[in-house]
């Protein structure tokens, strides 16, 4: 997958979720953002795309070129499933643990802005301190894995990852109707233990969520890949609008 196609797919995902937030009226009903919220969210998104991500990727490449120059492309012949497994560990698992330790007193200042929003929407996806992303291990690991030759799978992986992340923060509870279909309950049981979904994380957006409570949540084995015991989805009764 070439970079243009990858970026086009990610942009399509963003626009698609944004449209559904409006079409479902969830955005109008639940998102009450002020000008400071908008400035913060736009600034942090632009800083991630224009500064943090390029610096981490290029910095990791420079370090690898200096420290392990002979290893460039050494993993490029691995099968796709092996590359995907490496990415789940090196990116997904490290991102989960980075997020988890960001709920401790030492690193909470880097992540507090994300939980200070009084609403859930794709617009808060990257609402974090600048250094939250500059220090994120997964970004630097991605640069190293590109150096080692995982680029052809990394592009697909990032598109899927963006779909999961945007879907988890979306104001539109796309998973909510699925819980009402009895035949799909086993499927949703598996889904909510594999990824975060809007209806299965009702407490996630509480303002200043207590650190102690976050640290008591069950651990993941591979980041979002295996969730041991997620929150039960809170789905309103048929015909009622979710608040």
Distance of CA 195 to the CA centre of its chain: 10
pTM, rounded to two decimals: 0.81
Give the model confidence (pLDDT) of 140-152 as tens digits.
999 999 999 999 8
pLDDT reported for residue 12: 96
* pLDDT reported for residue 58: 96
Tokens of 168: 């988890």
Secondary structure class of 206 (helix, strand, coil): coil
pLDDT tier, 201 (very low <50, low <70, confident <90, very high otherwise) = low
Rounded CA-CA distance 99/224 in Å is 11
Evaluate if residue 179 carries a pLDDT over 90: no
CA neighbor of 177 nearest in space, from 19, 11, 24:
24
Determine the Cα–Cα distance for residues 11 and 169; give it in Å rounded to an integer. 16
Given a contact cutoff of 8 angstroms between Cβ atoms, the answer to whether 140 and 59 are in contact is yes
Structure tokens at 67: 């420290």
DSSP output for 83-114? HHHHHIIIIIIHHHHHHHHTTSTTTHHHHHHH
What is the distance between the alpha carbons of residues 155 and 61, in angstroms, rounded to a whole number? 17
- DSSP readout, 144-168? HHHHHT-HHHHHHHHHHHHHHHHHH
Lowest mean pLDDT among 17-21, 143-147, 152-156, 209-213: 209-213
pLDDT given at position 202: 53
Q: What does the block give as tokens for 188?
A: 């949703």
Assess contact for 116 and 206: CB atoms under 8 A.
Answer: no
């Amino acid at each position: 997958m070439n970079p243009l196609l990858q970026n086009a797919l990610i942009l399509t995902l963003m626009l698609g979720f944004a449209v559904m937030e409006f079409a479902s009226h969830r955005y109008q009903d639940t998102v009450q953002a002020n000008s400071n919220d908008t400035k913060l969210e736009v600034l942090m998104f632009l800083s991630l795309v224009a500064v943090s991500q390029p610096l981490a990727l290029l910095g990791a490449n420079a370090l690898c070129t200096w420290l392990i120059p002979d290893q460039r492309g050494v993993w490029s012949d691995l099968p796709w499933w092996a590359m995907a497994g490496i990415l789940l560990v090196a990116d997904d698992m490290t991102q989960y643990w980075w997020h988890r330790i960001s709920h401790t007193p030492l690193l909470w200042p880097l992540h507090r802005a994300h939980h200070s929003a009084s609403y859930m929407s794709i617009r808060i996806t990257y609402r974090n301190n600048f250094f939250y992303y500059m220090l994120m291990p997964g970004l630097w690991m991605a640069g190293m894995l590109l150096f080692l030759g995982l680029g052809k799978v990394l592009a697909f992986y990032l598109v899927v990852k963006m779909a999961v992340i945007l879907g988890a923060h979306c104001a539109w509870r796309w998973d909510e109707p699925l819980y009402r279909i009895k035949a799909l309950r086993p499927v949703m049981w598996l889904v909510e233990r594999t990824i975060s979904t809007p209806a299965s994380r009702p407490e996630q957006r509480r303002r200043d969520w207590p650190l102690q409570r976050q640290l008591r949540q069950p651990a993941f084995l591979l980041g979002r890949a295996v969730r041991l015991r997620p929150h039960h989805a809170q789905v309103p009764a048929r015909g009622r609008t979710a608040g």
